Structure formats: structure tokens, C-alpha cells
């Protein structure tokens, strides 16, 4: 196997990839949380239906909104993190040495 060194990384390319990966992970986690919240709110709504009759609507909105906000936040956070990491890598790689990878 040949060993090669990554000399630089395109910041926007890495940032976009990290943003998409973060958004997918955030969407999965958001769906799990939304499912838990929907179950909790639906069980509470039977007990407090006279106090808060819109709890079912609120729970349904959470099932939709939490994954959306989580994905957007994950994309923005991942994009910014990837951008910063690529810029730092490109600054440090010539001074320290790049990451060595083995390829066939």
C-alpha cells in the first residue's frame, strides 16, 4: 500500500460535508426526542385536557419542528466547525506535516 499525505483541504468542501453529516445526525436525534415528547404530551393531555386542550396539537407540532430545528442547527454548527477545522489544518499542515493516509 502506498502512503500519501494530505497537504491541504478545501475549507468549503469539508464544511459542507460536515454540515450535511451533522444535519443527518441531528435529524435522527431530533426524531427520537420528538417521539418521546409526543408520547409524554399525549399521556399528559388526557389528564389536563380541560386546562390545555391544544396539547395534542402542540405535541404534533413538536414532532415536526424539533427535527427541523435540530437539522438546521446541526448543519450550521457542522458547517462552521468544518470551515474552521479546514482553515486551521491548511495553516498547520505545512508546519507540522499533513495527515498520512494509506491508499491502494
pLDDT digits (tens, 9 = 90+) for 47-98: 655 555 566 666 667 777 877 888 888 889 888 998 999 999 999 999 998 8
The domain in which residue 59 lies consists of 2-103
- The rounded distance, in Å, linking the Cα atoms of 76 and 73 is 5
**Structural domain count, the chain:** 1
Q: For residue 54, what pLDDT is reported?
A: 63
Average pLDDT, the chain: 80
Alpha helix segments (H runs only) across 1-104: 11-47, 55-96
- The rounded distance, in Å, linking the Cα atoms of 74 and 80 is 10
Amino acid at each position: 500500500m502506498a502512503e500519501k499525505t494530505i497537504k491541504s483541504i478545501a475549507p468549503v468542501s469539508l464544511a459542507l460535508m460536515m454540515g450535511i453529516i451533522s444535519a443527518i445526525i441531528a435529524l435522527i436525534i431530533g426524531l427520537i426526542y420528538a417521539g418521546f415528547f409526543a408520547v409524554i404530551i399525549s399521556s399528559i393531555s388526557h389528564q389536563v385536557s380541560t386546562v390545555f386542550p391544544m396539547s395534542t396539537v402542540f405535541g404534533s407540532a413538536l414532532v415536526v419542528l424539533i427535527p427541523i430545528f435540530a437539522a438546521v442547527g446541526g448543519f450550521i454548527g457542522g458547517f462552521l466547525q468544518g470551515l474552521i477545522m479546514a482553515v486551521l489544518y491548511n495553516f498547520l499542515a505545512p508546519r507540522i506535516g499533513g495527515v498520512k493516509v494509506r491508499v491502494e
